[in-house]
Amino acid sequence: MKFITKTVWVLSLVSLLTDTASEMLYPVMPLYLKTIGFSVLLIGILEGMAEATAGLSKGYFGQRSDLSGRRAPFVQMGYAFSAISKPLMAIFTYPGWVFFARSTDRLGKGIRTGARDAMLSDEATPETKGRVFGFHRAMDTVGAVLGPALALVYLHYYPENYKTLFFIAFAPGLIAVAATFVLQDKPVATKGDSASVSFFSFLSYWKTSPPAYRKLVVGLLVFALFNSSDAFLLLRAKQLGLEDSWVIGVYIFYNLVYALTAFPMGALADKIGLKFVFLLGLGMFSLVYFGMTIAENPFGSANPILLLILFILYGVYAASTEGISKAWISNISDKKDTATAIGTFAGLQSVITLFASTLTGFIWFQFGASAAFLTTATATVVTIIYFLGVPFTRDHAGNAR
């Protein structure tokens, strides 16, 4: 595995530690929020706002990274913000404070993501990007297994004592921040004055981007409109009668499947094409959401075997799309604009995500969980049909092929 360089290893280990901290909290987040008075609709708004903060800042800081020719400082600052946010969630339980703390965490993700993904892209060739991004996602998701597992052990001894977890999660976050200082930037020429960039100036990239990039991003945004927060899957499992420990358990299981399949799916994408693997993942996503509408027995409680199958499929879906979509974008855009291209997509996606979680929360609130999941599944099938006509790369003249 010579293509897994020192930089790829460090970025992957940092992501593992950060995800250990974040995912220690993620499966209990909706449960914790409900104990302090948040409704399902308000949880949807919170998640949408948090992702909007992350996405919009990805575009801005991604462009600043490209213009300055620097990557490491953005990575370091971004992981620091996320680490600091963890204990803030438990200090006060007022809605405004919770929104602020959650937004700080997502702002950190926005600061680092474009620069980090550009670093990963620079360490790969077009023939190895699926494996490089897949390896990073696999390591990242190992943290998503360790975090909930630690939370599960803790809650076994201290049931429903959620607040202390937010302070425990601070430790791996700090270690991750320290590890980022091993990273070094490659010397590159700067493109301009990054300090003069306005917050929304990254949107101008849309006009100058390759046509293939725009066509790809349109499809990704349509899918994002109906791809709400994973918190709704956990709430559905809880609604079907699973206890808190089982809700966390199925989330750990999903992330374990994701971690084990991310690298193999990346390797498969390098061999048979990013587009094919990505569409395979969307197909699995659709099956999961269709399945969630019938994931109960005649008595209204959970069908454990069906839930197990659905979360296996959901893990493979994530492994087939998250890293693959970034590799696809980096292949279809100019190398000098990698962080901006990924950041611009993320910025546009964030606006859509704000509506996605809010829309799902509204449909669930008004018409029930089955209607919410059925809507998402149907929209995904339509999106798959659209993607059949999207190119997977472009030539040096910018033409789709």
Within a domain: residue 251?
yes
pTM across the whole model: 0.73
- State the residue range of the domain holding 284: 6-180+206-387
Within a domain: residue 130?
yes
106-122 pLDDT tens trace: 889 889 988 998 898 88
Within a domain: residue 1?
no
Within a domain: residue 186?
no
189-224 pLDDT tens trace: 555 555 566 666 777 788 888 888 888 999 999 998
CATH classification at residue 370: 1.20.1250.20
Within a domain: residue 398?
no
339-354 pLDDT tens trace: 888 888 877 887 787 7
Within a domain: residue 228?
yes
Within a domain: residue 48?
yes
SS3 for the chain, per residue? CCCCCHHHHHHHHHHHHHHHHHHHHHHHHHHHHHHCCCCHHHHHHHHHHHHHHHHHHHHHHHHHHHHHCCCHHHHHHHHHHHHHHHHHHHHCCCHHHHHHHHHHHHHHHHHHHHHHHHHHHHCCCCCCHHHHHHHHHHHHHHHHHHHHHHHHHHHHHCCCCCHHHHHHCHHHHHHHHHHHHHCCCCCCCCCCCHHHCCCCHHHHHHHHCCHHHHHHHHHHHHHHHHCCCCHHHHHHHHHCCCCHHHHHHHHHHHHHHHHHHHHHHHHHHHHHCHHHHHHHHHHHHHHHHHHHCCCECCCCCECHHHHHHHHHHHHHHHHHHHHHHHHHHHHHCCHHHHHHHHHHHHHHHHHHHHHHHHHHHHHHHHHCHHHHHHHHHHHHHHHHHHHCCCCCCECCCCCEC
269-307 pLDDT tens trace: 888 888 899 999 999 999 999 988 877 655 455 667 788
User: What average pLDDT does this structure show over 38-65?
Assistant: 78
Q: How many domains does the chain have?
A: 1
Q: What is the pLDDT of residue 317?
A: 94
Within a domain: residue 353?
yes
